[in-house]
Every structure is written in structure tokens, then in C-alpha cells.
Chains A and B, each alone.
Chain A
Amino acid sequence: MGDSREAKRVRNRLALPYAGAELPMNLDLSRRDILKIAGYGSLAAFIAACGGGGTSNNTGITATGGSMSLGSYNTDPNSKKGTDAIVSAFTAANGGTKVKVNTVDHGTFQNQISSYLQGTPEDAFTWFSGHRMRFFADKGLATPIDDVWDAVKSNYTEGFAASIKGNDGKAYAVPTDYYPWAVFYRKDVWSQHGYQVPTTWDALKALAAQMKKDGLIPIAFADKDGWPAQGTFDIINLRLNGYDFHTELLTGKQKWTDARVTAVYKKWSEITQYYSPAFAGLTWEQGADQLLRKQAGMYLLGLFVSDEFKASGSQADLDQLDFFPFPDLGTQYDAEKALDAPIDVFMLTSKSPTLKNDLGQAKAFLEFMAKGSTQVLYWQNAPGSIPTANDADTSTYPALTKKAVQIVSSAKRITQYFDRDSRPDFSGPNGMQGFLLKFLANPKQDTTSLQGQMQSYWDSLPPE
């Protein structure tokens, strides 16, 4: 790539062999297998992430100068700034390659992804790993990038390597950042009231009850957009019924009418009384605001909640933000320490009219995205997105990010989040988003009929 000094430095380091740590299976991986591997791999993977490793060298598949285009869903001010920073750094490093960025509202981008990829998309685009990546790879709407991946894979751990493989075993994406879901709180509020981090379900409930007495909203909850509630479903199901059952349930191999699912709703209903009032009308940002303004005691959300703290403009507030992993529920699955840690990726489209011309530049861009230095550039703007590359400079990480890396690396199973692990039609607004809101409107209800509706909706969906 453009910078020759970089290339030299890299070649010295390339002696580090990587091949030994390949995946046991190459082809015919089922979705579940891949999810499993992603889970197994994570432990070693993320610990290794701290150690650093080799980066890519120039493989001749890339081109400098010229132009390319990028479809981006990074519309939040911080993540947009991060994307802009990356793009200008790439242009500078790649012989002045002009990058035309088409930024589309995050939700709109997702909703229209199918027609976008089939129409005249940009060369590269921002997307998610997991089932949502494999779906479009299967449909031939993404270009496999095995050559790029071969060049950069030494900069990634196995967990990430598994997360970007399509069902055909080919590489389709470059992972650029990830973030864990956990329970966030303000250190100053907690020390003021003398709260302790709860490690069991009963401790969590006792703490919530105490917070209520102290005049706080115990658990900030905001579900107008439908998807935030899925995070709570994920974690309770993972703790109660385990990783295997959870992934099987989300991919239709288990029934929603199962008694184990009933147990999840029953457990969940024990804490809903501590939620924010009028949560069905609040956005996640408004929920984050309750935490920021010291009105709420806890908030189960992704690390991206810190973006909202950063957006407030007060470093002091950001410094007060801390989190703990969701408490144990007293089952055998507590030991899995499972959690949602979605991975964001960059991919290449297949129908872009300019891709033929720009393929070299687009691949160079993906290679560039695989560098730690690039990802750190983004992370500096959007602190809720942790770099995925081994050679990312972790020395500047604040305690919050370090802790996030640690909590993910100590998890034995990692999921990608409900709407990335299941089919989009099932998890969408007229699917599970709506069903969970129905449940939350009356959590003490007998959920039998609701579960029946979930199952019959799943059964109605056409084969993928």
C-alpha cells in the first residue's frame, strides 16, 4: 500500500507464522457451526488480540490512485466523523484515491439493503457480520474477498475469522469494530449511594428495589424502536437456557412455544417493574440520557451508549461511565459467560456498476480498513466501537474500552445480537420487535398465546 515505510515495518514482522491456528473445518459449515466456532474461538481470540501480530503486505491485488465509492450507514455525528477521518487517511495513503461516500440513514440503509444491493450500489458498503452477512453472500449480492482476507488475516484472531466466512467457506468481509452488551452505570451515582455490583439475579433485584427507594429509575429501558428489548431477551435466554438453545431458537431449530422460552419471559417479568416509565415511547438515546443525567441507576445496552456520553461534550461524564456483565442466574450456563458482542464489517457489493474499474481500489480500501491504525482512527471518534485488528494500538485505550475488551475475551460464548443471529423478517418491527413490545405491555400475562403467535409467524416465513 501507498506508504512504503509501513510496508517495510510489516515485512519484518511477517515472520510470525499464523497458519497453525486454522479452523478445523473449511467447507460445509452450517450456520450453527459457524456461530459455535465464533463462540469457541473468542476466548483465545480476544486474549490474543492484546498481543499484536503481523499486518498485511502488498499483494498486488490492490490499486492506487483512481476512485471508488462507499455506501455508509454511519450517520451519527461521531461515527460519520470517524468515517470521514478514515476516508481522508485512505486517500492520503493510497495515492490520492478519490472515495465517494454515500451516507444513508442507519435504519433506512438496513431496511433497503436488499434493493440497494440489487440495484446500483457503491463498490464497498458497511454492514454486519453473522447471519445478516451470510444471507446476502448466499444470494450472490456480495463479492468474495478471499485474496484480501489472505493478505490481512494474520491481523485477526480466529473468532473474527469465523465471523466473516460465508456458508460457502469464502471470506466476504473485513471486521472493523465490535462492542459488548453489558449493564452500564455511573460510578459517581453508585458510590454516592454505596451500591455494589450485583453478581446474582437476587442481588440485581435487591439493588433495583433499593434504587427505587432512593428515587432513581432503577433500570433505564427504552424500546420505541423495538430492537433494544431484544438485548434483554438475548442475555436472559443465554443465562437461563445456554448458548446452544439460544442460537437454535433464533434459527428455527427450537420452538418458540418451548417451556424454556416461557421461563425466559417469566424471569424477565420480575424486573420490568423497575424499568423507565413510558419506555415504549422512548428512544435508546433518551434512555441513555436518563443515565447521563443521573436519573437512572443502570442501563443494559451496547458499549455504544458511551457515544451518547461523548456527544454530551463532557469528558467528566464519560469518565464516570462503567459497566458490569449481566449477573448469573444460577444455572449451569452461567459458566459460559455468554454475551452479545456484535461485529461490524466492511464488504464489497457485487452489482456495483463501477466495481469492475475500481476493484483494485476497493480491495485496497478493505485492506486499509483491516489495519489497527485505521480502526483506532474511527474509535477515537466513536469510542463505542472497539478496533478488531491485532495491531491496533491499545495503549491509548481508556479503562472503559480495556474493560470491554476484557469482558469479551473472558466470555466463552459470543452471540451477535438477536437481529443479527436470526432472520431479519422474523426479528423486524412486525415480527419479534412487536411481539416483545406486546409482552412488555403486560409482563405478568400468560405468555402461551404470545409464544404461539411467535411460532406461527416463524412457520409462515418462506424458506431462505
Chain B
Amino acid sequence: MANTTTSLAPARATKEPEAGALVARGRKRRYTLLTRQDKILIALMVGVPLALDLILIWGPTLASVVLSFTNWQGIGAVTGKNFVGFKNYQFLFTGYTLFWPAFTHNLIWLAWLTFVATPLGMFFAVLLDRDMRGTRIYQSVFFLPVVLSLVVVGFIWELQYAPTDGFINNAFGLVKSGRLIDWLGNPHINLFAILVAASWRHVGYIMILYLAGLKSVDPSLREAARVDGATEVQTFFRVVLPVMAPINVIIVVVTAIEALRAFDIAFIINQGKNGLELLSILITNNSISEASLVGFGSAIAVILLLISLVPIVAFLSRVMRTLA
């Protein structure tokens, strides 16, 4: 995402000085359309974002790839002794019992957001788009969680889910009857418990994005559809949805990114263990914790990067195609 914006901006910027130069000097010198000043300006405008991009994004990325072949522990310099070849990857895929669970949890997260939370957000948006009474109140209510950081969302839901003094178990009388449901500690259900928490925020986010898109749909299209005898459902799927294509792409990308960067809530609940393992948390626990297995953590990060490349490339190729 960041790449596209940084590389697009200079591309557009170059056109303007070019045009100016054409008018001023174009006829005198065929081959250099740009003044020296223009060239410096262009070099700066392309160079600075490029340098920032290299330093802030590609530098650390490459460093992670290099570190993933070491057993560096984050203290002192990386020396030749630290390089261990593919050992980290080998252990990751064969011996590390948390990798595949974490990978699966990320996939479940993605599936949940894609098939439950995102459609629900779109559904709310469509409902609220019809000028029903109190639509602004509903909008505010659903949007409210979005302004909270996921860490805060995690805290809030931890209070709801806590087995003995949490709201849910008490509200349903489970504490009194002694049949506690361990929402946070049971590895079979705690992932879904926090997915509900994550959706609480995600639904509002998608809703507001989609609502903005819906507002921009030309009302005459719907009117035409109605005149032609289309039902509400037909109008939405055959007319509105195709018109919303750009927003749909954004929503798909947002959903994929949210699923890949899932971290905060699970980390707040129990530092991502006991059923809440996620790739991002494995990276953190291995490389940033007191343990500082930076090399091994980097190997997991490289895998996550490779996985992330799939939606990113898909998105970019689509954007490039529409631009071309």
C-alpha cells in the first residue's frame, strides 16, 4: 500500500514541470525538454520518497531476510558465527509446534472477517443507506468502536469474557450455577471469542467505508432499475454492487490486511498462547520479548511477508491495470 502511494505521487508530479518546459523552451531544443532546475527538482521529488522507501521499508525488510539465516539474539553485532543457514526455516516447518496452529488461526481469522464480519458491515451500510429513522444514531453506535485502538478493544472484551468476574458468565448466571465457560482459556473457543471482539470493531469500519461509497452512487441508476421493475435485491446485486467496484476492492484489501496483521487483542488477552497463536505474535514473542530470538523471529516474519505479498500483488496488479 505504502509503495503505491509513494511511487504514484512522483509519477504525477513529473508531468507538470514537463509541460511547463515544453511551453517555455520546447522549440529551441528538441532533446532536453527540462531545465537544470527542473531536473534537480525531479531528482529531489523522486529521490527523497525513494530514499525514504528504501531506508524505512526495504532496508528493514532485507535486514529481516538476512537475519532469518542467523541465530542472532539482538545483542552485539552480527558476525559470521551467527549464520546458521536454513536451520531456522527447517525448525519452523518441522519442529516448531506453534507455526501451523498460528498459520491456521490467521486463516480462520481471514475467513471469519471475509464471510462474517465484512458482509455484516456491508449489510449494515446498505440498511443505514435507506433513509430510515435514527440512521445517524445507528451510524454513531456502530462506528464508535472504530475510534478505539484494538488494545482498548482487547481490554474491554477481556472484562466481558473473564470467567468468574466477567460480564457474560455473570449475566447468563453461569457463575452462580458453577458451569463456567472459559471464554479466554479454552483453546477450542477462545479464538472465536476474540474474533467476536475483533468483529465488533471491524464491522463498524467496513460499514462506514461502504456507506461512503453508497452515498456516491448516482440515485438515478436505482431509479432506472426500479422503473425497469427490478427488486431491491436485484437492484443491489446487479446495479449498485458493480458500480461500487472500486470500493469493493478497497474493502477486500482492508479485510485481508486486518486478518494478516491481527495481533493486539490476542496479545492483550494472553500474549498469544493456548489457542491464540498468531503469526504476528510468534514474531513478537520470539524477537522482541526478553527471549530475543531475533533470527528465528525474522524467519517467521519472512514467511508472513511472503504470505502478505499475495494480496498486495493482487491489489497492485489491479491498480496498475486500471491506471494503464
Complex interface: chain B residues within 8 A of A429 (CB): 270-273, 285, 289
Q: Give chain A nearest CB distance to B274 CB in angstroms.
A: 4
Cα distance A196–B76 in the bound complex, in angstroms: 55
Majority-rule SS of B interface residues = loop
Q: Within 8 Å CB of A204, what residues of B?
A: none
- Residues of chain A contacted by B269 (CB below 8 angstroms): 224
Specify which chain B residues have a CB less than 8 angstroms from the CB of A277 in the assembled complex: 163, 178, 180, 182
Bound CA–CA A132/B290 (angstroms): 10
Q: Is A281 an interface residue (CB 8 A)?
A: yes
**Could you give, for residues 428-455 of chain A, a 1 whenever the CB lies within 8 Å of some chain B CB and a 0 otherwise?**
1111011001100100000000000100
Is A21 at the interface (CB under 8 A from chain B)?
no
- Contacting pair B186 A139 (CB below 8 A): no
CA distance A460 to B98 in the complex (A): 13
Pair A462/B271 contact, Cβ less than 8 Å: no
B274 close to A278 (CB less than 8 A) = no
B80 to chain A, nearest CB (A): 14
Q: Does A141 contact B (CB under 8 A)?
A: yes
How many inter-chain contacts with C-beta < 8 Å in the A-B complex?
Answer: 128
CB distance from B300 to the nearest CB of A (A): 10
User: In chain A, what residue has the closest Cβ to B294?
Assistant: A114
Tell me if A281 and B185 are in contact (CB < 8 A).
yes
B263 at the interface (CB under 8 A from A): no
Name B177-223 residues within 8 Å CB distance of A: 178, 180-187, 190
- The answer, yes or no, to whether A231 is at the interface (CB within 8 Å) is no
List of A residues within 8 angstroms of B271 by Cβ = 225-226, 429
CA of A456 to CA of B163, assembled, Å:
34
B74 touches A115 (CB 8 A): yes
B285 adjacent to A430 (CB under 8 Å) = yes
- Residues A115 and B161 in contact in the complex (CB < 8 Å), given A280-B274, A461-B293: no
B163 neighbours in A (Cβ, 8 Å): 277-278, 281-282, 286
Q: Which of A110, A141, A462 contacts B71 (CB 8 A)?
A: A462
Give the residue of A223, A278, A425, A464 whose beta carbon is less than 8 angstroms from that of B286: A425
Contact A281 B186 (CB under 8 A): yes
Determine whether the beta carbon of B285 is less than 8 Å from that of A282.
no
Interface centre among B187, B273, B296 (most CB of A within 10 A): B273
A139 in contact with B76 (CB, 8 Å): yes
Contact B291 A428 (CB under 8 A): yes
Q: How far is the CB of B32 from chain A (nearest CB, A)?
A: 50
Q: Does A312 contact B (CB under 8 A)?
A: no
Residue B91, interface by CB 8 Å: yes
- When distances are taken between beta carbons in the complex, the residues of chain B under 8 Å from A52 are none
Report how far A424 CA is from B291 CA in the complex, Å.
5
Task: Please measure, in the bound complex, the distance between the C-alpha atom of A164 and the C-alpha atom of B269, giving whole angstroms.
Answer: 34
**A464 contact set on B, CB distance < 8 A:** 73
Report B280 CB to chain A, min CB distance, Å: 13
Q: How far is the CA of A118 from the CA of B75 in the complex (A)?
A: 8
In the complex, which residue of chain B has the Cβ closest to the Cβ of A118?
B75
**B165 contacts which of A223, A289, A434, A461 (Cβ < 8 Å)?**
A289
Residue of A nearest to B290 (CB): A424
Whether the Cβ atoms of A430 and B186 lie closer than 8 Å is: no
Q: In the bound complex, do residue B290 and residue A139 qualify as a contact, i.e. CB atoms below 8 Å apart?
A: no
Q: How large is the interface on B (under 10, 10 to 19, 20 to 34, 35 or more residues)?
A: 35 or more
Are B185's CB and A278's CB within 8 A?
A: yes
Is A282 within 8 A of B75, CB to CB?
Answer: no
Q: How far is the CA of A111 from the CA of B187 in the complex (A)?
A: 24
Tell me if B95 and A139 are in contact (CB < 8 A): no
- Residue picked from B180, B270, B293, most chain A C-beta under 10 Å: B270
Q: How far is the CB of A264 from chain B (nearest CB, A)?
A: 20
- Let me know if B138 is at the binding interface, CB within 8 A: no
Q: How far is the CB of B222 from chain A (nearest CB, A)?
A: 49
Tell whether A434 pairs with B274 under 8 Å between CB atoms, given A278-B180, A281-B183, A281-B185.
yes
Do A278 and B164 touch (CB < 8 A)? yes
B295 interface contact, C-beta 8 A? yes
| Min distance, Cβ A106 to any Cβ of chain B, angstroms | 12
CB distance from B321 to the nearest CB of A (A): 41
User: Are B91 and A460 in contact (CB-based, < 8 A)?
Assistant: yes
Residues of chain A within 8 A (CB-CB) of B182 are 277-281
Report A433 CB to chain B, min CB distance, Å: 6
Q: Is B259 an interface residue (CB 8 A)?
A: no
Residues on the A chain within 8 Å of B185, using CB: 223-224, 278-282
CB of A143 to closest CB in B, whole Å = 16
CB within 8 Å of A: which B89-144 residues: 91, 95-98
Is B282 an interface residue when CB atoms closer than 8 A count as contact? yes
A113, CB-defined interface residue at 8 Å: yes
Q: In the bound complex, how far is the Cα of B94 from the Cα of A335, in angstroms?
A: 43
**CA gap between A113 and B290 in the complex, in Å:** 6
A290 at the interface (CB under 8 A from B): yes
CB-defined contacts of A289 to chain B, threshold 8 Å: 164-165
Residue among A139, A282, A437, A456 making CB contact with B274, cutoff 8 Å: A437
A428 to B284, CA, bound (A): 12
Q: Does B225 contact A (CB under 8 A)?
A: no
Contacts of A290 in B (CB 8 A): 164
Q: Give CA–CA (A85, B115) in the complex, Å.
A: 55
Separation of A463 and B163 alpha carbons in the complex (Å): 40
B184 touches A114 (CB 8 A): no
User: Residue A315 at the B interface, CB < 8 A?
Assistant: no
* Smallest beta-carbon distance B157→chain A, Å: 12
Residue ID in chain B nearest A226 by CB atoms: B273
Task: Using CB atoms and an 8 Å cutoff, list the residues of chain B in contact with chain A.
Answer: 71, 73-76, 84, 91, 95-98, 161-165, 178, 180-187, 190, 269-274, 277, 282, 285-286, 288-293, 295-296
- 9 A/B residue pairs, CB under 8 Å, sorted by A: A139-B75, A225-B271, A226-B274, A277-B182, A428-B291, A430-B272, A438-B274, A462-B293, A462-B295
Interface residues of A (CB under 8 A from B): 110-115, 118, 132, 139, 141, 223-226, 277-282, 286, 289-290, 423-426, 428-431, 433-434, 437-438, 441, 453, 456-457, 460-464
Q: Which 10 A-B pairs have the closest CB atoms?
A: A280-B185, A425-B291, A281-B185, A462-B71, A278-B163, A278-B182, A281-B184, A424-B290, A429-B271, A278-B180
Contacts A286-B162, A428-B289 supplied; 6 other A-B pairs, CB < 8 Å = A224-B184, A277-B180, A282-B164, A424-B289, A424-B290, A462-B293
